[in-house]
Chain A
Amino acid sequence: MDKLDNQKIITRLQDRYGEGLAVIGEPHGLLTVAVNVETIIDVLQFVKEDPELRMNYLTDITAVHYPRQEQEFCVVYHVYNMLQDVRLRIKVFVSGPIPTVPTATTIWHGANWMERETYDFFGIIFEGHPDLRRILNMDELDVFPMRKEYPLEDPNRVDKKDFYFGR
């Protein structure tokens, strides 16, 4: 079998999805594409089962918050073809007060905790997830701490004020 390269992946995906798929670039050789939230599960299923792509290993799911963009949240999937060592990064941009993405647990069992972590930190709802609860933070937390509007430290704390140190 020929070596799978990024150009081949692009052709293969564009044959199927056409306009619904945008190529973002290849930073450091890792092909990055963006798809619609409606088609994401179909894309993941396709890259997993397609005999040429065979990206059957879900490396990671995470999210990024871009507060200045119209589409505020970006859910990032890394999938991997371990036979030929080819990675693919798939991005989905979502927005709204309750950003919602369909779950990938129907394709990989391993997506379960990755999606729970993403929900826990970014508040992205994975529709159809069997057990979408907080995982690392405490259950009572009512914010999603990795969003950019939450500062690292409490801005009201006084124990670091200069005058306590004679400055």
Chain B
Amino acid sequence: MSKPVTKITPNAAVFFDNDPQDELITLNIGPTHPATHGVFQNVVQIDGERIVSGVSTIGYIHRAFEKIAEHRPFYQITPLTDRLNYCSAPINNMGWHMTVEKLLQIDIPKRVQYMRVIVMELARIADHIICNGILGVDTGAFSGFLYVMQEREFIYEIFEEICGARLTTNIGRIGGFERDFNEVAFRKIEEFIKRFPPVLKEFENLFVRNRIFIERTSGVAAVTPEQALSYSWSGPILRATGVDYDVRAVSPYSSYEEFDFDIPVGTTGDVYDRFMVRNDEMWQSLRIIEQALDKIKKEPVGVFHADVPEFYLPPKEQVYTNMEALIYHFKIVMGEWETPQSEVYHAVEGANGELGFYLIHDGGRSPYRLHFRRPSFINYQMFAPMSSGMLISDAIINMSSLNIIAGELDA
């Protein structure tokens, strides 16, 4: 392939030269501004306190995951997915495992599916805690953030008990989990569903009927459902506009169809609605975790992975003593497993929206092509157009209610 012949000239205005005669001022928000909560830049032109127009520049932490994934066997891609939305890494891990399992057509035991549901819902709570807490900080209320942060710490302790890691979890394996949840993990999950509701209630009391918070957020950055769908929004911010699209309910995976939960929706799609949708989703997640714990008790004890020795790494003590285990271990680590040629699109409901994995496999060691449909990336493109005419302070809380995670933005 020859090098590109044409060079495309940017025809969007990027205003770096300040004309002293001009009444408009150019302001850089980011790349490392505290208000962006991540590494991305917005160059805005302001007239007083109002934004006239803006350009988003992203890609500061682009790490070429899609290219790296073309050179790695499947199980080595899980740590890459950790680093997409690092506030809720387990959802990404599970989404990737389920994509590969769909490709390989592995049946997952019910108990494993419920364990996955627990882990994913805990991650969702952890992510929503951050987003709503930070929204509070951006509107000037710091204390709520600190109350709930303690609970996020507790969720990370549960992850630590399950898989040993806290933030970039690399949790689970293709075909199930690497080990069963231990006694402590179950005890901590049960403790969490007892201790979290009062804290969340207190957090709600600080914000939901708070006059300052309502005046600050209500009516800010309102989005109609038509706009949201045209911009391919998904997740809580789409539901805040009134569209009840949730992947968990519309096309259930991992046995979500067996659970009884509601999908909270907003009416106006403003920042306050997004806050409320996330808040209510945390209550629903708690409901789901409670049901999953009940369901796990009815399943056979000790099942934590599917019976697929050709894809699931054998326990280390067997590798040293059992010849079949050694062969499977070698084959899996060297990527010599036999896999079908196919293409798969699998979507899970990430904390920010529809997280999709588009995998094209040609039967080799690594994917032929792997594309991540990253909700933050797609949700964020509306930010610059919708900011025109907005006050700077409104644009900041709009940005934090979109919950843009730089890792997911840039992949």
Contact = CB atoms under 8 A, between A and B. Distances in A.
B269 to A, nearest CB: 15
Contact of B232 (A32, A59, A136): A59
A27 B373 contact: no
B178 interface: no
A interface, size bucket: 35 or more
A28 interface: yes
Contact of B378 (A87, A114, A125): A114
A146 B66 contact: yes
A129 to B, nearest CB: 9
Contacts of A121: 66
A149 B345 contact: no
Contact of A136 (B229, B251, B368, B410): B410
Contacts of B345: 28, 30, 78, 87, 89
Given A78-B345, A152-B71, A108 B58 contact: no
Interface size grouping (class) on chain B: 35 or more
B4 A27 contact: no
A78 B251 CA distance: 15
B232 A110 contact: yes
Nearest to A82: B245
A62 interface: yes
B105 to A, nearest CB: 8
A64 interface: yes
Interface in A78-100: 78, 82, 85, 87, 89, 97-98
B113 to A, nearest CB: 18
Given A97-B5, A136-B411, A152-B68, A110 B358 contact: no
A98 to B, nearest CB: 6
Interface stretch (B7-15, B29-37, B151-159, B391-399): B7-15
Contact of B230 (A60, A89, A110): A110
A71 to B, nearest CB: 13
B209 interface: no
A112 interface: yes
Interface of A: 27-28, 30, 32, 56-60, 62, 64-65, 67, 72, 76, 78, 82, 85, 87, 89, 97-98, 108-114, 117, 119, 121, 123, 125, 130-139, 142-147, 149-150, 152
Given A72-B1, A78-B345, A133-B12, 4 more contacts: A64-B368, A125-B8, A130-B11, A131-B10
